[in-house]
Amino acid sequence: MSGLAVAILAAGRSARFGTEDKLAALFRGKSLGLHTSEALMGLEFGHRWVIVRTADHPCAPGWTWAGFETVVNADAAQGMGASLRCAAECAKEVGAEGLMVCLADMPLVPSAHFSALVQAWAERGGLVASQDGALVSPPAIFSREQFGALSSLTGDQGAKPLLKTAYRVTSPRGALVDVDDPETLRRLSNQSSF
């Protein structure tokens, strides 16, 4: 879908992970930060970006291999809102009709769920988000009409307030977990995959 772009947010501080770069940590045999980009490889997007803190991230070669361009968020220290603003600005610049936003620390989202989100957005337009029980979260697709709202976000809250009105696509149970600390990484590494 040439009108749909995708951005993976990978510019977080990872404060709860300690001194190690969270996204470079191994998860099931490859860097944690590469799982999302590889799961998205089979889908058609007009543009693919990874929003990063620095251009020399250890995952950058893998992201490039998966067809993604790295975009440095100069305001990354301001929190997730700044990364969403950066992604929305990229989408506006290329005239995208929609923007899928994914998180680099959510390694369990399968390709089939990304496909289901794209299908729902192609049929309905608007705002489409993922749901696992009571949890409504990214990955989510924002239509061009929401880019302005994304561009006005601040702090670390992200787009959760916007997702309240989204059409929801049910994910496999447990797929929407994000890795915030080493214990979560170890626990998920030992679970069977979907």
Cis omega (within 30 of 0) on the bond before 107?
no
Domains of the chain: residue spans and CATH: 4-12+25-186 (3.90.550.10)
Relative to beta strand 135-143, strand 98-103 is antiparallel
Percent of residues in the chain assigned helix, strand, coil, to nearest 5: 35, 25, 40
Say which residue the tokens 């561009």 belong to. Answer: 151
41: tokens are: 């490889």
pLDDT tens series, the chain, 194 aa: 469 999 999 997 655 555 578 898 899 889 999 999 999 998 999 999 999 999 899 999 999 999 999 999 988 888 888 999 999 999 999 999 999 999 999 999 999 999 999 999 999 999 999 999 999 999 999 999 999 999 888 777 678 888 999 999 999 999 999 888 778 888 888 776 54
* pTM for this predicted structure: 0.92
Of 4, 84, 108, 107, nearest in space to 48 by CA: 4
82, 135, 145 from 85: Cα distances, Å: 5, 23, 14
User: What confidence score (pLDDT) does residue 185 get?
Assistant: 85
The H-assigned helical ranges of the chain are 35-39, 60-65, 80-93, 111-124, 147-151, 160-163, 182-189
